[in-house]
A and B are shown apart, each in its own frame.
Chain A
């Protein structure tokens, strides 16, 4: 009877959409969304099954805990990524290989792992869904974020086009651990470009659920967990990422799962979660150090667990070594160039790195951060600062609150050591939120809760306004009223050149993206997409003085898509003007000279030009 009721409901829904005289939701668009949603749910279920099966064998006790589902999900992601690594290494990233991986992972359910849905009560899921739900519009819209385009979606697309792993100097981002990007490739293969963003949104919801559970399970108060979740939901830095394909939020989920395992004293589950977190992003290092410090395990157990975590990352390092790269490439190990290059200019982010700046860092992060400048490039909800002193008070009293605070402190310190970009704090942000919310268990919770609520609500406009505009801007394209091409034309400057290249470049063209990042929308094999300081492009030019174009041609590149790059000295006030010229501006001039003398300009749209390189066969 239940199934019949569901089928009846679905039937009425489909009939309403298809017969709507105004075609408010285009059926073609709805089908695309449905495919992405179904693909994401199917792979997520497969990951849960695979992870559950692995844990049933390695750490069955963790499955009996209320957070067992999260451990299964993260272990499943680990298996998914490593399975993808095997496929990619064997050149099997095609339909048969991906289907076999899916079947193998889904087969995990055959061993019947004991998994139960998180019990969160009624209010928390409803509030969470109400706030997070609109971000589905961002997830379902054509991707526009620079990182998503050149890295989170661009690299998986390249792997799918090549049928194998990509990496090295021509695909530096592909040499990172691809534990999330191989799953993204599988999602794109089945559900299109929006499926990874939907998966990311799903896991963002999972993170919030786990935050509530950790508050309940380890701090002894569900309200503390709920408050921590609200701190995340009230922060632009979390919300702006949740609806997009990325890796910071999911790293935060894996870190929190590792904390849960550590507080439960489950070494094997800790190894799996910590290994996954570290493979997801090295910015997890800080909180992971804290987690191993507070783990409810004897030192021997911690060391063994740590070795287990390292073993999870080893395949990625081994892959780099086999390919002749440094294990930590692209963060280190770039071949020397005529001019020494920095991978990242730390001073560019935040508000300074002097002793006083570090002392003022917490205040500035909360009060002076901007979402549209390098001044932390993000925003946090001020309620975090209201709760923080009381969280510290709770930490002084000892217990799990102290352990969580130590991990949060380790994570925040690790973040402060690196670039002061708030997005990089996301692996630690749930811990910071929990550590602060622990303050609700001491003193006068009602008064503190009310004070935090006041600050939180006042902080909402600064954190949500840009996101609400972004959501509203996508209603037309998600409903099918606006074409994806038209949407991208107004959202991605120079998209006309991408559209032109998709229409006119030979199918077997290989395109070098120079100072350009729209990889995901270009339906051709490609190399060297980059953003911001454009390290890969600049390194290539400086590594091949006077013959950067010739070296690209030797690498099989037939065309180049070049975005006008301008490195203004005022954006690098911490660098000597001579260094700005040598490291940043000179490569641009050098490239322009070589393009002018060696290549043929075949199209231009706004700041983006398309060139045919010398040895390419005739044709557009």
Chain B
């Protein structure tokens, strides 16, 4: 449950209605039950009975962008483009069923989600919010999973690697990484951070070279600009990255 938002830059605290596994985008928090809650005016949110009903079977947090809403349900991905009153269901007829649990990632008009690839493990598929047919973004042996989005960027974990993709030109960067065993990725402006257990315990590494190490486990990275939130034991730390 999420009921509070804190601004790292101003320290402002915003009280939200209690939201179960919400999606977060620029200044907006969303669940099908509460609708789009803007952080500047949370009380103005207008929940939609239509969305609450159609997305009642969601199995993970939704994904949102200005292009619309994506929700993983038990046997299909449901898409609701902004301004539309028609929910598009993506599943069956050649499209594998979603893996549940993994939230969809929405980068501008692109929606990526994790599917059950059968014996070869999880795969990442994607589709455009407004239309088109679903296609495999990354598959093959081992798990391709933990897909996340921020702005024009997508990132996911594949065996021994983290892939970062710019959806504007479909260019990909891969970074060697031992991750995907627990928490997913954190992504901001093409920089991904993740948990790694290459050492004696769990540490945090980022694609721009930032590392958080120390005794015990450093976990649950969350990167935004120069700030990196993470947890060490029962304490949440805020690490400030030195300016380049």
Residue numbers of A with Cβ under 8 A of B are 496, 500, 503-504, 506, 596-597, 599-605, 617-620
Contacts and interface: CB of A to CB of B under 8 A. Distances in A.
Contacts of A618: 119-121, 141-143
B224 interface: no
Interface in B80-139: 97, 99-101, 116, 118-122
B148 interface: no
B119 A619 contact: yes
Given A496-B59, A618-B141, A503 B97 contact: yes
17 contacts: A500-B59, A500-B100, A500-B101, A503-B100, A504-B99, A506-B119, A596-B182, A596-B202, A597-B202, A601-B181, A601-B182, A602-B122, A603-B100, A603-B101, A617-B119, A618-B141, A618-B143
A600 B180 contact: yes
B119 A597 contact: no
A498 to B, nearest CB: 12
B26 interface: no
B195 to A, nearest CB: 9
Contacts of A500: 59, 100-101
Contacts of B182: 596, 600-601
B158 to A, nearest CB: 11
B3 interface: no
A488 to B, nearest CB: 14
Contacts of B141: 618
A549 to B, nearest CB: 12
Given A500-B100, A506-B119, A600-B181, 4 more contacts: A496-B100, A503-B97, A601-B181, A618-B119
B54 interface: no
Residues of B contacting A: mostly: loop
Contacts of A605: 101
B122 A620 contact: yes
A167 to B, nearest CB: 31
Contacts, number: 52
Nearest to B101: A603
A504 B116 contact: yes
A618 B141 CA distance: 7
Nearest to A618: B121
B202 A619 contact: no
A241 to B, nearest CB: 35
A597 B202 CA distance: 8
Nearest to A599: B181
Contacts of A604: 101
A617 B159 CA distance: 13
Nearest to A609: B182
Interface in B168-191: 180-182
A617 B99 CA distance: 17
Interface in B145-161: none
B52 interface: no
Contacts of B217: 596
B86 to A, nearest CB: 26
A541 B178 CA distance: 26
Which 4 residue pairs are nearest across A and B when measured between Cβ atoms?
Answer: A618-B121, A600-B181, A601-B182, A603-B101
B211 interface: no
B100 A597 contact: no
A619 B100 contact: no
Contact of B99 (A596, A600, A620): A620
Contact of B201 (A504, A597, A600): A597
B90 to A, nearest CB: 17
